[in-house]
Structure 1
Amino acid sequence: KPKIADYPFTTLVPHLGVVYVEPGRSFVVADLPGLIEGAHAGEGLGHQFLRHVERCRVLVHLLDISGMTGRDPLQDFEVIQRELELYNPDLLRRPMVVALNKADVAPAELRDRVRDALRERGYPVHVISAATGEGVQVLVYSLAELLDSIPLPATPVEDMVVFRAPRQDERAWSVQQTGEHEFTVQGKGIERLVKMTDLENEEAVRRLQRKLERIGIVQRLREAGIQHGDTVRIGDEEFDFVDELAEDTS
């Protein structure tokens, strides 16, 4: 949830949110901090915020028309437009919508003056109140229709990089001594085999032991210096090494 308060430029960091228009229809909105003069040159973290603007297909100016801040909404609009142009002139060619907020407390003269001035310049203007919900639904549907009419930007083929993880041989395994009387067997396939074995079932354990002998793990453990009674770790399981050769010679 963005932190908000009753003063200008209260949003400090960009926030993303999903607007659900109707079942199966939605769009993402980026709530961006207000820009100050000099933002194009990095003032007030301007570059950080303007980079987010570049990712948006439609720009919505949210202007406070309550008349309580002592600011001129039209002047604020001009400041933001100028900063957008100085940062990247292409931004001004994107579809723009103006939302005049706090209509529930706005003086009629100020509301009409700002609305008429912006409409004369060709901007779609919506008079809304986030507090009461006035005009918000109409704005949402208008933005959804506008976004539906704008093709998604195509990603240049040369910019697409496909990363493929190297194939791992699931039959591969390794043995290493990990403690004074502890040895660890690693390998995707063998770890899965142990995980799938019912270790409470004596016959299943014997089958596992024969498998370890057949693929050479038992022999490799002996070559690594394992002794009768040492611990063998495979995945999450631990086993006591019972060297049948040692038992036979004893």
Structure 2
Amino acid sequence: MAASPEKSRPSAFWPLAAVVVPLVGVFARIELRGVENLPREGAYVLAPNHNSEFDPLVVAVAVWRAGRAPRFMAKESLFKVPVLGAALRATGMVPVPRTSTSATQSITAAQDIARDGRGVIVYPEGTLTRDPDLWPMRGKTGAVRLALGGNLPLIPMAQWGVQQILPRYGKLRFPRRSKVIVEFGPALDLSAHTATATQPATLTRATDELMARLAEMLSGLRGLPAPAERWNPAQHGQNETGRLES
């Protein structure tokens, strides 16, 4: 794919890509779909489903192959890890404070992204899906909050096949090279929500629309009907780590 200026310009992504792309290729044959939906230039928020600890690598390679530099919202604590923290800072990853959910910080992050013309990858589920059949579960409002706060296109991304490489909470299956389909969807229309973009009810509705779109896209990849309702960990006695509450 034609590279954007942020990919073709020398950066810390180049040496990382030289290592990560071939490594991921050992495990995954990635098929890209809908690449035309990812903006060639400018800022955006990319919202993928999350069903394996391995899929961030697949998502990063897919975005790189599509012509953009992959930047994630990453836990602030990761920036303190030697070597990893330096790589995160050098590639412009966005730190997320563990205890902060304030709208002000989200809007500030979105404004920074928009100003710099960068894209950012945000998992709307916030963690691995808890749905027993690996469908997208109930989402959190972070991706929508960023998109609305910065007036950025919100691009849904569905991926399927990574669970054959590393099952959720399982062990890496090697040697194994599995087909993984990654689809970029058209930007979600958020125009109906802009007038009340900071209201919790609005953010929840928009997030529900995003998760429904992801489920619809994943249904197309899997050839199965998606469940009518999203899995809600709170209703099944689970916390954010997937463990049962006592």
User: Normalising TM by the smaller chain, what interval?
Assistant: under 0.3
Q: Which protein has greater RCO, CA pairs closer than 8 Å, 6+ apart?
A: 2
TM-score (ref. length: structure 2): 0.24
Structure with the largest fraction of strand = 1
Greater CA radius of gyration, 1 or 2? Answer: 1
TM-score (ref. length: structure 1): 0.24
